[in-house]
Amino acid sequence: MNIKTVLGQLQLLAILEGISYISFGLTMPLKYIWDITGPNYYVGMAHGVLFIAYCMWVVLVHFDKKLPIKTTAILLFSSLVPFMTFWAERKILKKLD
């Protein structure tokens, strides 16, 4: 993974987005069961920023690598499903290197 390229940056974002998604899921019980809102606020903010960045970088890679629409759609959809950005990074993005 070369983070000096748009593709390398997207690979890193895919991993970070996956981690933030899982972390956000872990802080939800803190907020709604035990009324501890602090962690959820910060993790939620980080997740939101990473989600938007991931989607933007998918579009950048789409134009940079001239990806098929189907591949781009799968990459965008993967941001909505927990653990799927890890799969997308391993099965799709690594093959584009």
Domain annotation covers residue 45: yes
How high is the pLDDT of residue 1? 81
How high is the pLDDT of residue 90? 96
Whole-model pTM? Answer: 0.92
Domain annotation covers residue 12: yes
Tokens 């390398």 identify what position? 8
Model confidence over 45-79: pLDDT tens digits? Answer: 999 999 999 999 999 999 999 999 999 999 999 99
Domain annotation covers residue 1: no
Model confidence over 27-48: pLDDT tens digits? Answer: 999 999 999 999 999 999 999 9
Domain annotation covers residue 67: yes
Domain annotation covers residue 58: yes
What is the domain count for the chain? 1
What range defines the domain where residue 88 resides?
6-96
